[in-house]
Amino acid sequence: MIRYTLRCAKGHDFESWFQSAAAFDALQAGGHVACSLCGETSVTKALMAPAVAQGQDRPALAQPQSEIEVAMAALRRQVEENSEYVGLGFAAEARAMHDGDSPARAIYGEARPDEARKLLEDGIPVAPLPFLPRPKAN
């Protein structure tokens, strides 16, 4: 794995991990690398220098660094405080609620793409969340 500091054509700096330098090159050539702030796909590697943080010089990783990160943190709080995490059983629980076999309530969890697609095809309203559930987050 390799981490690059990237810069989009609009001047936003952001970081992303790639399997290898070749993987980054292939993804960039295919237009699959986009700015995490604005979505711009014209992205280049920014000048990087190794940084060794010690003691109080370490960045506060839990603190949001941009308006988007603040909004994402607020969304995560809203979802976690007002719904039940059902884990890998999300698709089954959503279907059971829809069929009336389980009490209706706000839930969130994890589903494979094919499971989510089948729920939508069957008229069961679901939507992806733009973050990993806490049990999966690093």
Asked whether residue 138 is assigned to any structural domain, the reply reads no
Record the tokens describing residue 136, joined without a space: 């999966």
76 and 125 inside one domain: yes
40 and 88 inside one domain: no
The pLDDT confidence band at residue 131, using thresholds 50, 70 and 90, is confident
Half-sphere exposure of 19 (CA within 13 A, CB side): 6
Please tell me the pTM assigned to this model.
0.53
Work out how many domains the chain is built from and give that number.
Answer: 2
6 — phi, psi (to 5°)? -120, 160
Instruction: Please tell me whether residue 77 adopts helix, strand or coil conformation.
Output: helix
Model confidence at 135: pLDDT above 80: no
Read off the amino acid at residue 132. L
75 and 109 inside one domain: yes
* Angle at 71 (CA atoms; ends 90, 77), nearest 5 degrees: 45
Which residues are within 8 A (CB) of 124 and not within 5 positions of it... i.e. 6 or more apart? 94, 95, 98
Asked whether residue 54 is assigned to any structural domain, the reply reads no
Asked whether residue 56 is assigned to any structural domain, the reply reads no
Asked whether residue 58 is assigned to any structural domain, the reply reads no
79 and 33 inside one domain: no
Asked whether residue 51 is assigned to any structural domain, the reply reads no
Range of the domain at 12: 2-46
Residue 69, number of CB atoms within 10 A of its CB: 13
31 and 81 inside one domain: no
Asked whether residue 110 is assigned to any structural domain, the reply reads yes
Average pLDDT for the chain: 86
35 and 72 inside one domain: no
Asked whether residue 90 is assigned to any structural domain, the reply reads yes
**pLDDT tens, position by position, 47-93:** 766 655 555 555 555 676 788 888 888 999 999 999 999 999 999 99
